[in-house]
Structure 1
Amino acid sequence: MIDYTYQLEAYDYHLPPERIAQFPAPERDQARLLMLNAGIAQATHHSFSDIADYLRDSDLLVINTTRVFPARLLGNKETGGKVELFLLHFPRRLGPAQSNPEWMEASATALIKSSKRPKVGSRLFLGDRLHARVDSLAGNGDAEVTLQYKPAEGQGLDELLQEYGQIPLPPYIQRAQGTTPEDGQRYQTRYARQTGSVAAPTAGLHFSDTLLGRIKSKGVQIASIVLHVGYGTFSPVRTDDIRDHRIHREWVEISAQTADLINRTKDSGGRIWAVGTTTVRALECAADNRHQVRPFTGDCDLFIYPGFSFRIVDNLITNFHLPKSSLLFLVSALAGRERILEAYQEAIVHEYRFFSYGDAMAIINRP
């Protein structure tokens, strides 16, 4: 007998296109907040800034401090045709180019978009001081490339990408003229520090400096982890049974200080609030059988879907996720599939804004 819980179709819902947010709320903390509280049958409606009222001084708020880099590069092929290079991770620096030590090199995996796929060995011109050589082409569409760049004085690769690249907004956000300066600011959390993501941990976009200050003034501690969001987060699930889906890998770092703070909070009876599904994934990936977090650095391929036993996370702050997506599986594992889908329908009726630039949801399993 087929268990409907694990069928991909069980995670589908109809979203009117106008509910997909194309721009962020005017103020970060004034997005709307739908709250699912385990102690209350009905969902309740709030402003995101109200989240501070639900945090106690014994709680720990865990944030992901990854920073999105300009992974989308536009340029021309040697033939003159237009080309788009989408870097799937921050390039690995290799050192000076052998042919000209004034130029530096870095390697990366990328997607190449052009009318005709460039050949191995060909060059792409992405700016006066930024080129790329195509080293190999894979059958899945990925390409291995070597970036060749000439930094100005005091400039590194990060700054050069800022000069020539664009912030890679998700495909459902339409920008006819490319990303705007506002996107460069708003598609980045206020606490972003470590460069490495191709997509923002979007639940964190709602926290303003004022709200963070208010939360700290209540005595709530804030700890940080790093999970660099990869392009795989947008990969569609193609298996009828979600358990057969192969989840993507993402790089995680949890310091000894953060692990200790989490473990002391749990030992003292405090609640762990995760900001975003990326934080959930990182914390549960680093959890041991004693429900403790260990310091961790490396790739995480943890796949969370209904039936998963959470060891660390009590409550979650998140956005609304795409139908049939692995992120929808994750929130369903925490709150229950039926309750999540009911809440999504209520959000649609009440004209909430969905996805990366949209409104937020709080799942409180420990009131």
Structure 2
Amino acid sequence: MSAEQILGNARIVTADREFLGSVLLRDGLIAAVEEGPCQVPGALDLGGDYLLPGLIELHTDNLEKHMSPRPGVDWPSMSAVLTHDAQIVAAGITTVFDALAIGDINPRGKRMQQLPAMLEAIAAAEQAGHTRAEHRLHLRCELGHPDTLAAFRDLVEHPLVQLVSVMDHSPGQRQFAKEEKYREYYMGKYHLSTEEMDRFIEEQMANSREFSDRHRRAIVEDCGARGLSVASHDDATLAHVQESAGFGMSIAEFPTTLEAARASHELGLKVLMGAPNIVRGGSHSGNIAAAELARHGVLDILSSDYYPSSLLQAALLLAGQDNGYDLPQAIATVSRVPARAAGLDDRGEIRVGLRADLVHARGHDGQAMIQQVWRQAKRVF
């Protein structure tokens, strides 16, 4: 006997419009979407609140802060994953790509040592059914690190890996075209002295010259052979974008200029920007603001990056700005578009036949208050 539930009197946001209606859930899927008030006995009355598709997060390093909650503190990995998962689902995210950084440029960092434990804990929690959101893996490859290619090839065969991004954070280009911003960011983040920072810059630039180009080509070729989605990162110039498009990448993460974002959009790469950029009103690195890209119609995907609850809040703010994005288009940046860019065709919008991954939310003064979350018709928050 099939399990059914009706969510009624909701402000439903589909791919192209919003309306008062109800949704029938059956066997983990959306079985029907009806317009108009619902008076069916036993239906869950949402009282005119939003009913949205479950959010899709493609790039978050939120797990890292739970693995190392304080300098020098290593938290048990399974506990860290479950705490991270609870925070993710409470933000309305039903599918999350946990970003695992390959190639730690922090001279005092432990990212590379943490990688196996993080991956194993995510996989174990998923397999045991302990996670409320569905977790996939996003391998963030720092191209200038000497060990990146070997580590990537050790991890890429894992069945949860579905997205790979390639990046070069060396100074003088891309995200850090201005060296003073690079110094400000890394001296503050890693607590380096001026002399340590000088050595750090010299080492990063030398490693970039030696490894970046050949690591990029090898990693992209491996991903193509495996059918994995690939994202560029911090493209700043037309040449960067043409290189990314030539490699067949599908996503342009955090382009730093309007020129790069517009070219990416025109060449078919989905432009991804940070939701915190929308919420805060600009980039912490001094690069192009996400709202500016929206005003030019070249913003496709939002990512919470380091702050999970920013995702839905940013989408609601986006819909209220003077940019041509109505609510369905804004919600698509955190649901349908990222799902398709990552090769997920079974979720990301409220449509008959798709997974019943849904979010009941209430908006007030630009804030998004999550009331309930369903993953495959099972309430998980």
Q: Please give the TM-score of this superposition, normalised by the length of structure 2.
A: 0.28
Q: Please give the TM-score of this superposition, normalised by the length of structure 1.
A: 0.29
Task: With a CA cutoff of 8 Å and minimum separation of 6, indicate the structure with the bigger relative contact order.
Answer: 1
